Amino acid sequence: MLLKLPREGLTLEALASPLKILFQPLFACGLFLISSWQSEKSNWWSGSIHFANDHGSQKWCAVLLGAGIIYQTNKWLSRRYLNAFTENSRWNSTKELVVITGGSSGIGAVVTSRLANDGTKVIILDIQPPLEETVKNVFFYQTDISSAASVETVAEDIRREHGNPTVLINNAGTGNSMLIADQPTAETERIFQINILSHFHLVREFLPAMVKQNHGHIVTVASMASFVTQGKNVSYACTKAAALAFHEGLAQELKHRYNAPKVRTTIVHPTLTRTPLVDHITRNNKSKNFCLEPETVSDAIVDQLYSGEGAQLILPGRFTLISGIRGFPSWFQEMIRDALTSSRKSKDS
């Protein structure tokens, strides 16, 4: 049976996926046992004691076993620490109430559609109505999330008409391709209001009920711009770096201040994704840069909700190394930023 390729085609992740079996300790143990059995069989037939090639294969099996144990232990520790060593929170589609910002189009619309089709009630907060007709368990509230007063009003309406939300997905985002000195103050403030200050407004409204029940999930849709800043993308990158700090701080407060570790937190860092926000870039992608499909990002978000655990998701996985750029040598950091900014320049031209 052929492996199903990602929506983006034959990616590096798809090519590397079969190699994951090498980091399964049981696989390495199996190879070691086969190698040992073959060695004993050869020794019995030949009457000799050792064969150098047998020892070599067993040595590599032992190395592979050690690497697999380290890899799996690292994954286990990350999952457990991010979830305060508590058991999984069971997802119940009929009992969860999801609020998602920017759910009328792009990634948010796909997340909404999948959750609603699985029987979950979803509330969309957006300035624009949904592009497609919604199903019966999707409710739209026209809201300017950049306004704290508007968020407070709509939150009261939601609690009165639907109850307390158990999931908040801070998905809405905006940006532009302006130089720092060319960007009007009002535009800078608009980007910060939507991309990061709205997170504070919304969490202030919906977090207390989650804390009281010690149940909930807050998803922050950030970007790879949380780690790498490009020219003509500075205000957007600033807000996404702030979103990462917001996510990290919120997780700490839930564990150590509110004592509500089962209110999960997830942050998502997708690379360039085909959404209306960047349509002017992806539509004429002259540089042929890798682009994610919105369904890929939405599937990652929904699957994480269903897992009952919080996480940090970097999409695609190959960019995980870039997330550590702040610790790279300065010359290497600048080389990466130069390459990305030059690529963006070619798209804008």
Pairing type for strands 263-270 and 97-101 reads unpaired
φ/ψ (deg, to 5) at 162: -130, -20
Annotation marks residue 262 as catalytic: no
Residues in the chain: 349
DSSP assignment letter at 224:
G
* Per-residue b or e along 254-273, where b marks 16 or more CB atoms closer than 10 Å to that residue's CB: bbeebebbbbbbbbbbbbbb
53/194 Cα distance (integer angstroms): 63
The four Cα atoms 219, 220, 222, 227 give a dihedral, to 10 degrees, of -100
Residue of 236, 255, 258, 306 marked active site: 236
DSSP class per residue in 147-177: -HHHHHHHHHHHHHHT---SEEEE-------
Q: Which residue has 């999952």 as its token pair?
A: 79
CA dihedral for 316, 174, 193, 132, sign (positive or negative) = negative
* Cα distance from N-terminal residue to C-terminal residue, the chain: 44
278/102 Cα distance (integer angstroms): 14
292/269 Cα distance (integer angstroms): 12
Residue of 121, 232, 240, 262 marked active site: 240
79/67 Cα distance (integer angstroms): 19
Annotation marks residue 240 as catalytic: yes
- Cβ atoms of 224 and 271 within 8 Å: the answer is yes
Phi-psi region of 165 (alpha: psi -120 to 50; beta: other; left: phi over 0): beta
166/309 Cα distance (integer angstroms): 14
Q: Residue 229 in 3-state DSSP?
A: coil
Active site amino acids: 236, 240
